[in-house]
Copies of this chain bind each other. A is one copy, B any other.
Amino acid sequence: MIMQPVTIKTIAEKLGLSIATVSRALKDSHEISAPTRERVKQAALELGYQPNVNASGLRAGSSKTIAVMVPEVENHFFSQVISGIESVARANDFHVLIYLTHEDPVKEEEFVQLLRNGRADGLLISVTHNPNGYAYLNRLRETGFPLVLFDRLVEEVDVPVVATNNESASYEACNLLFQRGAARPAFLGLDPNLYITKTRLSGYLRALKENRPEMEPLIFTGSGQPEKDREALQGFLEQYRPDALFGAAESMALLLYEVCRRKGYRIPEDYQLISFTNLGAVTFLNPSLTSIVQPAFEIGRSAAELLFKVIKKKRIYAAEQKQILPSAIRMAESLKA
């Protein structure tokens, strides 16, 4: 049995009032007398009235919805970020739309285009690499659409951003490798065009320059395809003989475990390892992984709070414009004593 929806009109007819009065009563307008207000609210409750969001959205030109665009959701970092975003959205009575770009810039651009239609009031995005640039983000920004970037930033788009201290955390992590006796630390990363890869690489390079200025940087770049990368990493290890590895991406660190298992290499005896990761279970790896952990939930929360300031047209101070939340190093067995 399908009931026809209960609208403001249903209530109005039931109580012999006009729809205007009902509407006002429901939002506690002072123009409506207390008894009428109560009658309306009572009726709304009884009938299970829910305001139609398309109607109010059309009228108000807003949707009480924000969009979140990330490369993937299977990654723990992103799922924690989403959780942080969701908590803030909830607190603001907003809803959350999710878009997965799967590292496809074409999809990303399509999704962004789709947002210019009233479906969302703001966008939080961690971009995928786009060789053609991010003009579509700037176009979105120019229309006044609230936009905040996080994690993977883009210099050319001038909006508020939230990220972690990629460069300095990487610098510290690599220094740690040297302190533990590493002679030839290598960098393991993904797409070298990504903001996170670039900034983390620059931390590695700085540490290298300070500790071993004469050494050529050892840089491995994975494609993201496990089978291909495994072969490549194996070849890289044999050719360049690093004795320590700095993982700028969780997947690369896990790949090293796999290669070591297959080839009988030992961690940390043959390869010391420290890596960015937000996977809690890495403390149970064999050996446990010394990790650089990003405050993912907080990054999501801060980015969302920033977005709501933009949406609500609150003033954003210069200091807030670029928020850097520091990562923490969690010691474990993949480094020597």
Asked if A143 is an interface residue, CB under 8 A from chain B, the answer is: yes
Asked if A83 is an interface residue, CB under 8 A from chain B, the answer is: yes
Question: Which A271-297 residues have C-beta < 8 A from chain B?
Answer: 279-282, 284-288
Given contacts A51-B117, A285-B286, contact A96 B97 (CB under 8 A): yes
Whether B74 pairs with A83 at a CB distance below 8 angstroms is yes
- CB-nearest residue of chain B to A280: B254
Q: Which of A18-26, A29-37, A52-60, A200-208 contacts B (4 or more CB under 8 A)?
A: A52-60
Asked if A211 is an interface residue, CB under 8 A from chain B, the answer is: no
Asked if A9 is an interface residue, CB under 8 A from chain B, the answer is: no
Contacts of A80 in B (CB 8 A): 74
Which 5 pairs of residues, A with B, have the shortest CB-CB distance? A286-B286, A2-B144, A54-B58, A50-B117, A54-B57
Question: Which A158-213 residues have C-beta < 8 A from chain B?
Answer: none
A14 to B86, CA, bound (A): 42
Asked if A82 is an interface residue, CB under 8 A from chain B, the answer is: yes
Contacts of A86 in B (CB 8 A): 73, 98-100
A145 to B155, CA, bound (A): 45
A153 to B80, CA, bound (A): 25
Interface string of A110-136 (1 = CB under 8 A from B): 000110111100000000000000000
- CB-nearest residue of chain B to A297: B74
Contacts of A58 in B (CB 8 A): 52, 54-55, 58
Whether B284 pairs with A117 at a CB distance below 8 angstroms is no
Interface size on A, residues (CB 8 A): 52
Whether A96 pairs with B95 at a CB distance below 8 angstroms is no
Contacts of A119 in B (CB 8 A): 53, 65, 95
A33 to B254, CA, bound (A): 60
Query: 19 other contacts beyond A73-B73, A86-B99, A286-B287, with CB at 8 A cut-off?
Result: A2-B144, A5-B116, A48-B116, A50-B113, A50-B116, A50-B117, A52-B118, A53-B118, A53-B119, A54-B54, A65-B97, A73-B83, A74-B83, A76-B76, A86-B98, A95-B99, A95-B114, A258-B284, A279-B281
Contacts of A79 in B (CB 8 A): 73-74, 79
What are 8 A-B interface contacts by the 8 Å CB criterion?
A: A53-B54, A58-B58, A65-B119, A83-B100, A95-B119, A96-B98, A98-B98, A279-B279
A142 to B100, CA, bound (A): 32
Asked if A318 is an interface residue, CB under 8 A from chain B, the answer is: no
A110 to chain B, nearest CB (A): 10
Asked if A1 is an interface residue, CB under 8 A from chain B, the answer is: yes
A126 to chain B, nearest CB (A): 15
Asked if A63 is an interface residue, CB under 8 A from chain B, the answer is: yes
Asked if A72 is an interface residue, CB under 8 A from chain B, the answer is: yes
Asked if A3 is an interface residue, CB under 8 A from chain B, the answer is: yes
Report which of B52, B99, B114, B284 forms a contact with A286, defined as CB distance below 8 A.
Answer: B284
